[in-house]
Chains A and B, each alone.
Chain A
Amino acid sequence: MSDANATDRRGFILNLWRSVFAAAGISAVGFSLWDRKGPVAAKRQTSKLQIASFAATGQNGKLAVARGSDRIRNIEAAIDALGGMAQFVQPGDKVLLKVNAAFATPPVLGATTHPDLVARTAALCFAAGAAQVAVTDNPINDPASCFELTGIGPAARKAGARLMLPRPDRFAFYSVKNGQLIRNWPVLGAPLVWADKVIGLAPVKDHHRSGASMTMKNWYGLLGGRRNIFHQQIHTIIAELAVMIRPTLVVLDGTWSMIANGPTGGAMDDLKATHTLIAGTDQVAVDSLGATLLGKSVKALVHLDLAERAGAGTTDYRSLNPVVVDA
């Protein structure tokens, strides 16, 4: 009897320890995860993204205009007039081409950056020693089909550039300094962080809401989220975009310009052979000059004025002494 008693007692004590340890474990987990106050208001997404200035040193306020009907010759002539791509791209640089691939429309409609321009610019970058060239945009229609149908995707691949599609994980929250609209807004940041140099490639387009869509409006394709609410204040957002991105170079392709029914167009009739390509480091000046292709005055495009006052550049493009060349 006493043996059994002893075994029992030992068993009980063992069990007691087990229960005590388990209870302590449960209590420890409970207390360590204890949250006395509950969740607070949905956290404001903080801006972690930093966007550097991509401006090449010593190239401020450069502006060149190439006149000709051949887009490829135009870009070559314009870059030449600026002193060659080597002024902007150093050997080993990673170059990001921000194209306008907003719509899944064929290149002939001029609603998107022309693939020839993309291919040629990429080739110039490589020739200047760029290690890698990437092409990106966050289009309005489905990204994959936009890049394919606009011809930009195939052209980029052929030139050896890679596509950076707007995948969800490539966006980060960003606030423009002193901005009113781009406050903790998702921005296609990964390509910007990756790149050493950024070149904007935009067609000249009429725009129903903003009057014109040129190189400044082209940065709109870096915004994510429900960006269409910004159409409520279209000029302000364009000016903030111009502050957000300090590009190495912008190229405004007015070889053909969409002068009506923008920004989508849809018919050849909407295009006009303006036979002009503008390249420069001052996006406000480039767009101010581009406005003349649409027959619009600088004053009519409020965002140019706003961008100038925000310090993104000058609307007085003549003061930059643009180099005009015939291609």
Chain B
Amino acid sequence: MKDAHSEKPASSPVQNRLSLLLLGLLVLIAAIVLWVQNRYEPARWREQADNPAPPSKSRLSLPDGVIPLSPTERYSGDNVSDKINGKADLYLSAGFKSLESRRFALAKDKSRWMERYVYHMDGLRSAFAVYSAQRRSDSRAVSITPYAYFSSNGLFMVHGPYYLEFIASEASDAMQTHLKALGEAFVREHPEPTGKIVELDLFVSDQRRPGSLKLIADSAFGIQGMDWVFTADYADEQNQATAFIAKRDDAVQARAIADAFIAFWNEYGAESVAAPDDLSMSRIAFILDNFEIAMVHHSYVFGVHEASSLEFGLKVVAQLMHAIEEAGR
């Protein structure tokens, strides 16, 4: 760095030049490190949700006062259990395609946030099945779509093939307003045909428990083969029963379901009960002090499950029969 035999010690200009050189080197190192940190493959370290959502869909026109808090996470059938763990089976058995989740927060206060889950299902019925299977007890109807309700801190709805959950970090009216705005924004962004599920109209609303309409995608009442069955709960002061309806391709298939239904209870020791004259085609099983009734009309199989009295059960069945006949006209 220095001529060995100079009279003076390493002189200041030399030190200065060397210093500047070294400081320049530090700047270079810092620049390289900064450049290097841009090269990041997160998937190498931990599995990422699949490809990031296509930009057109992710560019959501957010309602006022709401900002995104996290990037969109996408999950496929293979890894959806990473996000929702034990609940995954419910979705998978009902025709799950993908899940996108994303957090949003209030622009004013980021500690108040919401998470949006968009479950893309096979279709309207799939979406309705998962929607109805996990209906919260403290629900309050809301008219964003035909199938939508609020819980104290969440908004749940079906829109076309999408089942959506919006969960807020707190239960408050203000947050509900924002949830609703998010829900409406989604509907605007996704102009899907607002299809209707015809079977649901077959459940007469008289004595029907509000919010009890359900579509069970897989093994209703634990009975193999009873897939895609609609149910609704009926009750009066003393009695209760769960009505069910399923449509099959033809009467033979419908008959097979009814047979399986009755056979199931018989296997568990049910006693057969004679059908009354006006519903002579029905088959009735009595088990654990409940009545199980099944009937077939054209391609519909319908009946009641756990009717607490035979009379009430038959009344509900008659209502269903009537509704099916009405619809057939």
Contacts from A to B (Cβ < 8 Å): 1, 4-5, 8
Residues of A within 8 A of B5 (CB): 1, 4-5, 8
8 A Cβ contacts from B117-166 to A: none
Q: Report if B4 contacts A (CB, 8 A).
A: yes
- Complexed CA–CA distance, A1 and B4 (Å): 12
Chain B residues touching A, range: under 10
> Can you report 5 A-B residue pairs in the complex whose CB atoms are below 8 A from each other?
A1-B5, A4-B5, A5-B5, A8-B4, A8-B5
A8 to B3, CA, bound (A): 11
The majority secondary structure among interface residues of chain B is loop
Instruction: Give the shortest distance, in Å, between A166 (CB) and chain B (any CB).
Output: 46
Q: Which 3 A-B pairs have the closest CB atoms?
A: A8-B4, A5-B5, A1-B5
A5 to B4, CA, bound (A): 9
Q: Which residue of B lies closest to A9 (CB)?
A: B4
Closest to A5 in B: B5
Query: Looking across the interface, which residue of chain A has its beta carbon closest to that of B4?
Result: A8
Q: How does the 8 Å CB contact mask read for B1-29 relative to A, with 1 for contact and 0 for none? A: 00011000000000000000000000000
B-side contacts of A1, CB under 8 Å: 5
Specify the chain B residue showing the minimal Cβ separation from A12.
Answer: B4
Closest CB in chain A relative to B33 CB, distance in Å: 21
User: Which B residues lie within 8 Å of A4 (CB)?
Assistant: 5
How far apart sit A293 and B112, CA to CA, in the bound complex (Å)? 83
Q: Smallest CB–CB gap between A61 and chain B, Å?
A: 55
The docked-state distance in angstroms from the alpha carbon of A253 to that of B175 is: 88
Nearest Cβ distance between residue A220 and chain B, in whole angstroms?
43
CA distance A1 to B5 in the complex (A): 9
Nearest-neighbor residue (CB-CB) of A1 within chain B = B5
How far does the alpha carbon of A181 sit from the alpha carbon of B324 in the complex, in Å? 62
For B5, give the chain A residue with the smallest CB separation.
Answer: A5
Tell me how far the C-beta of A289 lies from the nearest C-beta in chain B, rounded to whole angstroms: 51
- B194 vs chain A, min Cβ distance (A): 53
Question: In whole angstroms, how far apart are the Cα atoms of A126 and B110 in the complex?
Answer: 93
Shortest Cβ distance from A14 into chain B, in angstroms? 15
Taken residue by residue from 174 to 216, chain B's Cβ proximity to chain A (1 for < 8 Å, 0 otherwise) reads as 0000000000000000000000000000000000000000000
**Chain B 223-253 interface mask (CB, 8 Å, partner A; 1/0):** 0000000000000000000000000000000
Residues of A within 8 A of B4 (CB): 8
Q: Please measure, in the bound complex, the distance between the C-alpha atom of A8 and the C-alpha atom of B5, giving whole angstroms.
A: 10
Q: How far apart are B76's CB and chain A's nearest CB, in angstroms?
A: 26
Inter-chain contacts of A8 with B (CB < 8 A)? 4-5
Give A260 to B5 CA distance when docked, in angstroms: 100
User: What CA separation (Å) do A4 and B5 show in the bound complex?
Assistant: 10
| Smallest CB separation, B305 vs chain A (Å) | 45
